[in-house]
Structure formats: C-alpha cells, structure tokens
A and B are shown apart, each in its own frame.
Chain A
Amino acid sequence: MRFLSLALSILLPAAHIVQAAESEAIVQAHILPRYALLDSETAKLADAAEADCRPQSEALQTAYHSAFDAWIGVAHLRFGPSEQGDRAFALAFWPDPRGSTPKALGALIRDADPALDAADSFASVSIAARGFYALEYLLYDPAFKDAQTAEYQCRLITAITQDIHRNAAAIRAGWEDGYGALLAHPGNDTYRSADEATRQVFTALSTGLEFNADTRLGRPLGTFDRPRPNRAEARRSGRSLRHVVLSLASLRELAGLISDSDAELDRKFELALERADRLDDPIFAGVADPAKRFRVEALQQSVRDIRSVLSEHVGPRLGIAAGFNSMDGD
C-alpha cells in the first residue's frame, strides 16, 4: 500500500492533480463565460449597425463600447480557437505603428471596394481595416465620421460589425465544441500533461500583464523627453485607461484560479486597480505633463510588480515558467 502510494506520487505529484482541476475551472469559470459574453455583445453590435449604421447613432456607440469591453476581457487568451483563421488578429489589430488602419480604410473607401458586399470576400481584407480598432476610426475619427462618402461608410460599418460577430461566434464555438475539453482534460496531443495546460494559461496571464505595462501604458508614456500621448490605445473613443482596468480585472480573475487564490498576488492586483481608479486620466493625456506623468508611471510599475510576483513566487510554487509569447520579438 505504501509502495503503491509512493509510486503514484512519483507518477502524479500532488501539484499536478491540483493543476488539472484548475485548468477545468479556468475553462468553466473564466474562458467560456467571457467568450459567451463576447458572442452576445457582438451580436447586439451587429444588430445595432443593421438598425442604424450612422456613426452618430447612440445605440450603435453604446453597443460598440459594450462589445469592446467584452473583447478586452478575453484579449489575453491568445491561443487555440482565437488563433485559428486569424480571428483574434482580425478582431483587434493594435498597436498600429505604421498607421495601417487609416490607410487601409482610406483605400477601401476611395475605391468603393466591393469586398464588403460578401462575408467571404470581406474576410480576406487586411486585418487593419477590420475589427474594433477600424470600427473606432469610422465612428469617432473626424476624417472618417464626417466624410462625404457616408453611404459607403455606413455599409462598411455594418460589414465590420458582422465580421466582428462572426469571428467572436467562431471562437466561442471552437472553445465549446472541443478545444475547451483539450485544455480542461490534458493528456491529449495538444496538452500532453497538466503542466503543459497550466503553462499555456500561465503564459497568457504573464503576457497579458506585459502587454498592459509595456504596450497599453508604455507606448503613450514613451520617454520623459518624448511622451507619446497620441499612441494611447483607442483614445478616439476615450477608452485607453478603461482597457487597462478591464484587462486587469479579467487577469485578476484568471490569476486567482491559477494560483489557488494567492493572497499576495491578489493584493498586487488590488493595488494596481486602486492606482488606475485614482488616475482620472481616461486617455493618458497626462503623460506629457510632468506633474501627472508620474502617476501613469506608478500604474505601470504596479502592473510590473504583479508580473514579478507571478514569475518569482507563484510560478516556482506551481513548478511552471511562462513559455514563449508574441512579444518576444522586436
């Protein structure tokens, strides 16, 4: 008996059993409900555009904000169904250092490109002219929303919202119809062990924090001598800080599930969210004002602190380190 339990513990160390249960909880309590929300909110967005596709439509703007909120809650889950068929890329192309979105939208409008008349052909259009960030230009950028080509742009807005909903629904279906089971029950060719499943989620969590610190906050911060407020994410619709807050809230939920509610980790999230709440700078315009800039820097530092606790304390406790991510490049 004793020998048997020893053998079992070699084969399946305690931590691994816990981890398998965790990945099931992560799928059921974090991933599936959040993608279900994205699916339903993007359906409402497509309906709103169908009913009234004018940029000034209040119902459309409200639906845009709700659907974008839902996306930010899953934007860190960049593996599995979101990566198939370039779905997540087509939902959210940002940052855009070469101004590809206004260029690609401008080209479609200038040519009155018929690509938007069929779902299939619109799906082959540059990702820069699709998804939430392209929609933001059409709804909020003066160069687009006040343009003289209102009829085409109205149809373009409708096509983009339908494309957004199609991709959101496809990701949800992918998770519900098979991929969720692969992650929840490792021991398959995608996740050979509980460790591999945990590593995937751990990488998503770690990368999500890195993206908030280095990209959402780091891009507008630039350097002290050269702040870049115009690089703030979704600033045209006033959503820059909101994205950091929503993302941290979602990452906090995931962090609790993966870490067995690690108190130190949760406290770091709380601190960062408190700083974000107190910031009162919705589009990070303050980065250019030395008197306000330090508060954005403090928020960035507190997000980095969360990541340090994750990699230095929680990871070693789980026996997991983050894998490679899309930010490893330039």
Chain B
Amino acid sequence: MKSLILVTSAAALSLGSAAMADGQVTKAAVLDTYADIAEATYADSLTTAKRLQAAVDALIANPSAEALEQAKAAWIAARVPYQQSEVYRFGNAIVDDWEGKVNAWPLDEGLIDYVDASYGGPSDENEAAVLNVIATPSFTLSGETVDASKITPALLEETLQEADGVEANVATGYHAIEFLLWGQDLNGHAAGAGARPWTDYATGDDCTGGHCDRRSEYLKAASDLLVSDLEWMAAQWADGGAARAEVMADEDAGISAMLTGMGSLSYGEQAGERMRLGLMLNDPEEEHDCFSDNTHNSHYYDGMGVQNVYLGEYVRVDGSLVTGPSLSDLVAEHDATLDAEMTVKLSQTMMALGRIKTAAEAGFAYDMMLERGNAAGEALVMGGVNGLIDQTKTIERVVAALGVSAIDFEGSDSLDNPDAVFQ
C-alpha cells in the first residue's frame, strides 16, 4: 500500500516538473487545463449518452431481454464520465443551475411509474409521490389539470420536473432513466438490484406492468432530453462557450471556483449527504444509484473528478489523456510540502473509494454495507467519508496558501432549496 502511494506521488511529481519545464506556471494556463478537462468530460458524457439513446431506441423497436441488458450496460458506461464532471458543479453557477435536469436525486419514483405497495402513498412532503404518470394520462397537479396523454420531453421538463415545488419529483435525467431500466430494488439490504422485466416494454399481450407504450414513450423522452441537455453543457465549455469564458474572466475567481468545486463536492455533498447519511440511516434507498446498485462506481468517479481537477489529468472514454499545467503545479510553486500533502490525501481517498468498489464488484453490494450492525460495511464507507473530510481540510489550506479566499459560493439552487441534511 505504502509503495503504491509513493509510486503515485512520484508520477505526479514527474508530470509536475514536465509542466513547469519552461518556467512558471500561470493561473491562466491552469484554468485552460481546467476548462479543457471540463470540455472533454462533458463531450464524453454526451458521447456515452448518445450510445444510451441508441440502445433505448433499439429496446423500444425490438423489446427483448438482451436489448434491456444492453441499455443497462450503456447506462452504466455513461455514468463513468458524467460522475467525473460533478466536481464542476459547485463553483460554476452555470453548471449548478443546470445539473438538476440531468442528475437530480433522491427521487420519489412513484411519480413516474408503478411501485411496490411497501413504498407508501402521498406524503406530507410530496402529494405527487405516487402519481404514476405512465398509468395516468390526465391528472391534477397543484390545482391544475394536466394533459399527459402524450409523454413528451416538454411534459417531463416543464410540468413534471420538480412538480409542486418538490425536489423529490425528479422526472428527467440519469436517475429517472435508471428507474425505467431497472425498476425498484426490492431486495432491501440483501444482494441484488432492481429487476424490472423486459416485458415492461413488450407490445400487445406480452406487456407487463401496464401501459408499455407509455413507458416506452417516457423512456424515449427522458433519453432524448439527456442527450440535448448534455449537448448544451458540452457547448458551454467549448471554445467561445459561456462556462469557459466565465472561468477565464477573472483568474483568482477561476482558481477559487476550482477549489470550491473540489471542497464542496468532497465535504457537504459526497462525504455528508451521499455517503455518511445513508450509513447512519441504514437506509438502502439512500444509495445514490439505488435502482442499479451502481453506487460504488458513482462515489468512485466523483472522487476521481476531484483528483482530475487537482492533477490536471483526465482519461477520456477513448483512452486518450487530457493533461496540462495543473493546480498541483501552481500549489507546488508556493509550497511543495502542501502540494505533496494534497496529492497524497487525494490518493488515499481514491484508495478508500476503490476498496468500496472492489468489495461491491466482488458481491458485497453497497446496500449490504449500509445494513445496521454491518461493521465491515461501515468501515468501508467511513473509510471513504474520512478520506473526503481529511482532504477537505487540506483543500482549505490550499485556498489559504493561494490567497483566493472568496469561497462563499451558492448556486441559486442551494439558495432556493436549502434542504441541507444536517448542520
């Protein structure tokens, strides 16, 4: 273990010196790399979303068990680049304002389709928790009659998403699609993901779950929306795009945005809301990718995104490497010891998240780790949480060392929906 860390930091050091070979690292060059990695990450998210869209089209055209499995595999692959993009969300208002369309979570899935009786009914918090749009062509929402006879991207985006002002009404994005492909995970803390039968998309008498045509319509609309939403975001980071321009407009604010994204994702979001909370509640529905049981990957690639931003490196889905002058180089110029501390802590977090992933892939699913009294699972998850908390402390030190202290970022989403989990 020790030697692996040494190898990793040695690699980082040699890359660092290469980037600095021709003199001082400038903030502008670091921001260029940051924007280049964003552009590549969102472009890869788009590429893999298009593959998902094609697999969904094939499933709808010729429903079969194989076609459903292929769509699921495409969804899993699409998550790899997208999760690495999440570090861009905090600190870049343009991303934070948009991300709810593609990655909102957690969701009351009964809004979308049939659910098990154990799911419960409408709640104090959400009257639409069991609306079941797929089975209901016309319904009342916030006192108004909604015509849902045709399920279109516009219906999902404009009427159902955050219906009645409730965040848990998630009608679009990866997790809505995930639910439509896998269905509810009814295994509780036992192994196994959702097990939606492929016949939920069958035509005629083979149809199960009712309204297969409307379910297909929903899945198609959600997949098309995902592609168009990602197209938009990828364009914002391309040359001349608004997100890139914003980052480059003020160098100190740009560096601050990088560190804000790293710290906010590490601490409040991933360590707190996504990992520790589910563990303390012993609730398998608090899993981030709860239908597909893909949470171990979701956490792993979130962590990797933070590391990407610091090291200025991203491996694309075609295997090529995007790299350039990095935040690590910049910090090393100010304080080489602090840079080493940051690099090592990021590596330690990735090792801890890697252990969760390894155990899950070997059959110890993430929801099993959350079970009350499961000491091994608790140790695995807390290993990741502690790594993330520890690296946040060093991110704060980096903020202070670079003198870019203006971390008081709140996207409009956080202001409007202060559903913080704890304080």
CB-CB nearest 9 A-B residue pairs: A214-B418, A328-B268, A329-B269, A329-B268, A328-B264, A321-B405, A327-B420, A211-B423, A324-B263
A324 touches B395 (CB 8 A): yes
Report the interface size class on chain A: 35 or more
Interface residues of B in 200-242 (CB under 8 A from A): none
Say how far A280's CB is from chain B's closest CB, in angstroms. 24
Which residue of chain A lies nearest to B406 when distances are taken between CB atoms in the complex?
A321
Residues of chain A in range 75-114 having any CB-CB distance to chain B below 8 Å: 75-76, 78, 86, 88-90, 92-93, 95, 97-100, 104
B285 to chain A, nearest CB (A): 8
- Identity of the chain A residue whose Cβ is nearest the Cβ of B415 in the assembled complex: A214
Does A323 lie at the interface of the complex (its beta carbon under 8 Å from any beta carbon of B)? yes
The A/B interface has a contact count, at CB < 8 Å, of: 137
Other than the known A97-B125, A126-B282, what 8 A-B pairs have Cβ atoms closer than 8 Å? Answer: A88-B422, A126-B280, A192-B397, A199-B396, A321-B406, A324-B266, A325-B423, A327-B418
- Give which listed residue, B90, B415, B422, contacts A328 with CB less than 8 A: B90
- The 0/1 profile, CB within 8 Å of B marked 1, for residues 96-138 of chain A is 0111100010000000000100000100111110000000000
A46: min CB distance to chain B, Å: 22
Binds B, one of A23-31, A171-179, A219-227, A286-294: A219-227
Please name 23 pairs of A and B residues whose Cβ atoms are closer than 8 Å in the assembled complex, sorted by A: A75-B423, A78-B422, A97-B125, A97-B167, A98-B106, A127-B281, A196-B397, A214-B415, A215-B419, A222-B165, A226-B165, A322-B407, A322-B408, A324-B264, A324-B267, A324-B407, A325-B423, A326-B267, A327-B414, A328-B90, A329-B272, A329-B420, A330-B419
B356 to chain A, nearest CB (A): 18
CB-defined contacts of B280 to chain A, threshold 8 Å? 86, 89-90, 93, 126-127
A73 within 8 A of B: no
Contact with B along A260-294 (1 / 0, CB 8 A): 00000000000000000000000000000000000
B417 close to A (CB within 8 Å): yes
Q: How far is the CB of B265 from chain A (nearest CB, A)?
A: 8
Which chain A residue shows the least CB distance to B270?
A329
CB pair B420 A214 closer than 8 Å: yes
Cα of A78 to Cα of B421 in the assembled complex, Å: 13
Which residues B105-143 have CB closer than 8 A to chain A?
A: 106, 123-125, 142
B:337-354 near A, CB below 8 Å: none
Q: B277 → chain A, closest Cβ, in Å?
A: 8
| Cα(A81)–Cα(B90), bound, Å | 28
Most buried by B among A76, A325, A327: A327
A contact residues around B418 at 8 Å (CB): 210, 214-215, 218-219, 327
- Chain A residues with CB under 8 Å of B399's CB are 321, 323
- In whole Å, how far is B421's beta carbon from the nearest beta carbon of chain A? 7
Assess whether B57 is interfacial by the CB under 8 Å rule. Answer: no
Smallest CB–CB gap between B362 and chain A, Å?
Answer: 24
Inter-chain contact B124/A230, CB cutoff 8 Å: yes
Q: Within the complex, which residue of A92, A98, A125, A323 is in contact with B125, where a contact is CB–CB below 8 Å? A: A98
| 8 Å CB interface, B356-399 against A | 372-373, 392, 395-397, 399
Report the Cα distance A214→B263, complex, angstroms. Answer: 21
A198-220 Cβ-contact flags toward B at 8 Å (1 or 0): 01000000011011001100110
Interface size on B, residues (CB 8 A): 49
CA distance A109 to B316 in the complex (A): 51
A199 to B165, CA, bound (A): 36
**In the complex, residue of chain A having the shortest beta-carbon distance to the beta carbon of B262:** A324
B19 CB to closest chain A CB (Å) equals 27
Residues 258-308 of B contacting A (Cβ, < 8 Å): 263-264, 266-270, 272-274, 276, 280-283, 285
Cα separation A199 to B125 with both chains bound (whole Å): 36
Distance between Cα atoms of A325 and B268 in the complex (Å): 6
How many angstroms between the C-alpha atoms of A223 and B423 in the bound complex?
22
Q: Is A69 an interface residue (CB 8 A)?
A: no
A41 proximal to B (CB < 8 A): no
Contacts of A39 in B (CB 8 A): none
Complex interface: chain B residues within 8 A of A330 (CB): 167, 269, 273, 413-414, 417, 419-420
Residue of A nearest to B264 (CB): A328
Judge whether A215 and B423 touch: CB under 8 Å: yes
Smallest CB gap from A195: residue in B: B400
In the complex the two chains form, is B124's CB within 8 Å of A326's CB?
A: no
B416 CB to closest chain A CB (Å) equals 8
For the complex, give the distance between the alpha carbons of A192 and B335 in Å. 15
A126 partner residues in chain B, CB cutoff 8 A: 280-283, 372
Within 8 A of B (CB), among A288-330: 311, 321-330
When C-beta atoms are compared, the residue in chain A nearest to B105 turns out to be A330
